[in-house]
Amino acid sequence: MTSHLAHLLRLRRWILLALAIGAFVTAATGDEAEPETPRRIYLDEFRPTSSLKTPQHLLERAKYPCINVHTHPGRLSDDEIDEMVRVMDESNIAVSVSLDGRAGAAFPEHMKKLTTRHPGRFVVFVRMDFVGDGDRQESDTWDIHDPDFGIAMADRLTEAVRQGASGLKLLKDLGLYQRDRDGKLYAPDDPRFDPVWKRSGELNIPVLWHCGDPVAFFGETSEKNERWEELYRHPEWSFHGKDFPEHQELIDARIRVIARHPDTTFICAHMADIPEDLAKLAGYLDQYPNMNVEIAARVAELGRQPYTARRFFLKYADRILFGTDGVPPKSELIPHWRFLETWDEYFPYEDNPFPPQGLWNIYGIGLPDDALQKIYHGNAIRLIPGVTIPE
Ligand SMILES: [Zn+2]
């Protein structure tokens, strides 16, 4: 045995002895034992229960008849549509806007499916159709690559409006997924689309446009990303790196379109994807009177900044529309009513045991009646053909 090892063993004996004496002294003097370290948990196991006791108003329905300008009933069966309308009745939603109309023969079919069973309860927007006469499976064959795509699409739009369409819908694929034959992303303000924006104005229908996504989706999925947990679950939602544009490039591209087409009404989906910076959004709204926004899937963002959001909602009450995305069950609608109508504090923005869009809770902004009426229905009635509320 080396003397070094012998030394270590001696040291170890002393340490054990010291620990034993320490334990004896602790027991003898009644001191607290070392606290047991709690189990280390993963972020997705965290389920904190708030200890706050503050007034709660679990509003079951909107205070005024409401138009939901952002829904997706495209794949619903007749029974599911009936159920959707039942929830609309209970929640005081007069009309839902389906953003799932497809240009061509499918359009009147979808329209009929919704409106014959439930007249007056739905209007339908038609989607920009990048495929056209091409083969859906072969993106090289799609109409979008034709330099005259805009004119052809404008004519399809006219046809859809003749069949009853109330607006044009764009998904975020323009700017994030649609690529030319060389694999380069089409810019949302590519001039080939101009005839479509122009025609929308001539037809007097709004363009409801989702361009971009939350700014956090464009940042690195690191421990500093405020939506890390969500991006960890959905890595496909990250637009960081590769050849994706910056968040602001998409915002700028759509703004250039809005500026070029002052006679066309734009409703920018999801608070124009800049709810994190309402001062910036206010600047755009001040500059472009044809720009509007809807709140779908952004209550989480708005409700974490109640002072700023309330000022914004009061100032721009004529420019904000109500929307949810998806086909919301009643439980998902309640946080919307609470956010807009109450002063409730620190409540979950979704009916989910885990906040899915950022680990925080939200606050109500207690809007006055006149602002609520505009946001719930006034603006939608003014901007969207075919939308009415019962007398
Ligand atoms: Zn949507």
Q: How far is the CA of 237 from the centre of ligand 1 (A)?
A: 14
pLDDT at 219 exceeding the cut of 70 = yes
Name the nearest CA neighbour of 99 among 75, 134, 63: 75
Which amino acid appears at position 351 of this protein? Answer: D
Q: How far is the CA of 91 from the centre of ligand 1 (A)?
A: 20
Q: How far is the CA of 40 from the centre of ligand 1 (A)?
A: 37
pLDDT at 48 exceeding the cut of 70 = yes
Residue 211 burial (CB < 10 Å; 0-12/13-18/19+)?
A: buried
pLDDT of residue 33: 78
d(CA 140, CA 134): 8
Q: Could you give the 3-state DSSP secondary structure of residue 302?
A: helix
Q: Could you give the 3-state DSSP secondary structure of residue 121?
A: coil
Mean pLDDT of 285-296: 98
pLDDT of residue 353: 81
pLDDT of residue 390: 87
Q: Which residues surround ligand 1, an ion (CB under 5 A)?
A: 325
Q: Yes or no: say if 182 and 221 are a contact pair by the CB < 8 Å rule.
A: no
Residue 17 burial (CB < 10 Å; 0-12/13-18/19+)?
A: exposed
d(CA 364, CA 299): 10
pLDDT of residue 8: 54
Mean pLDDT of 8-25: 53
Mean pLDDT of 276-299: 98
Mean pLDDT of 80-108: 97
Q: Yes or no: say if 192 and 211 are a contact pair by the CB < 8 Å rule.
A: no
- pTM value surpassing 0.85: yes
Q: Yes or no: say if 52 and 346 are a contact pair by the CB < 8 Å rule.
A: yes
Q: How far is the CA of 174 from the centre of ligand 1 (A)?
A: 14
In angstroms, the Cα distances linking 312 to 170, 204, 240, 258, 265 are 25, 27, 29, 21, 20
Phi/psi at 237 (5° precision): -90, -5
Structure tokens at 37: 């370290």
Structure tokens at 29: 């003097």
pLDDT bucket at 29, cuts 50 / 70 / 90: low
Mean pLDDT of 61-72: 98
Name the nearest CA neighbour of 324 among 381, 373, 375: 375
Q: Rounded mean pLDDT of the chain?
A: 93
Tens-place pLDDT, residues 159-189: 999 999 999 999 999 999 999 999 999 999 9
Tens-place pLDDT, residues 369-383: 999 999 999 999 999
Give 290's DSSP letter. T
Residue 48 burial (CB < 10 Å; 0-12/13-18/19+)?
A: exposed
Q: How far is the CA of 327 from the centre of ligand 1 (A)?
A: 10
Tens-place pLDDT, residues 248-267: 999 999 999 999 999 999 99
What does 178-200 look like in DSSP terms, one character per residue? -B-TTSPBPPTT-GGGHHHHHHH
In angstroms, the Cα distances linking 358 to 144, 167, 217, 301 are 36, 32, 12, 9
Phi/psi at 302 (5° precision): -70, -40
Q: How far is the CA of 71 from the centre of ligand 1 (A)?
A: 6
Q: How far is the CA of 311 from the centre of ligand 1 (A)?
A: 26
Q: How far is the CA of 205 from the centre of ligand 1 (A)?
A: 18
Tens-place pLDDT, residues 333-342: 999 999 999 9
Q: Taking the CB of residue 216, how many other CB atoms lie within 10 A of it?
A: 23
Q: In DSSP terms, which residues pair with 122 in a beta bridge? A: 96
Q: How far is the CA of 269 from the centre of ligand 1 (A)?
A: 8
Q: How far is the CA of 170 from the centre of ligand 1 (A)?
A: 9
Any alpha helices (H) in the chain, and if so which ranges? 3-29, 78-91, 106-115, 149-162, 173-176, 194-203, 228-233, 247-260, 269-272, 278-287, 299-302, 306-315, 330-341, 369-373, 379-383
Contacts of 252 (CB under 8 A, 6+ apart): none
pLDDT bucket at 1, cuts 50 / 70 / 90: very low
Q: How far is the CA of 35 from the centre of ligand 1 (A)?
A: 50
User: Which of 13-22, 42-51, 205-214 shows the lowest per-residue confidence on average (mean pLDDT)?
Assistant: 13-22
Structure tokens at 299: 């209550």
Name the nearest CA neighbour of 257 among 152, 165, 187: 187
Tens-place pLDDT, residues 331-368: 999 999 999 999 999 999 998 888 899 999 999 999 99
pLDDT bucket at 12, cuts 50 / 70 / 90: low
pLDDT bucket at 142, cuts 50 / 70 / 90: very high
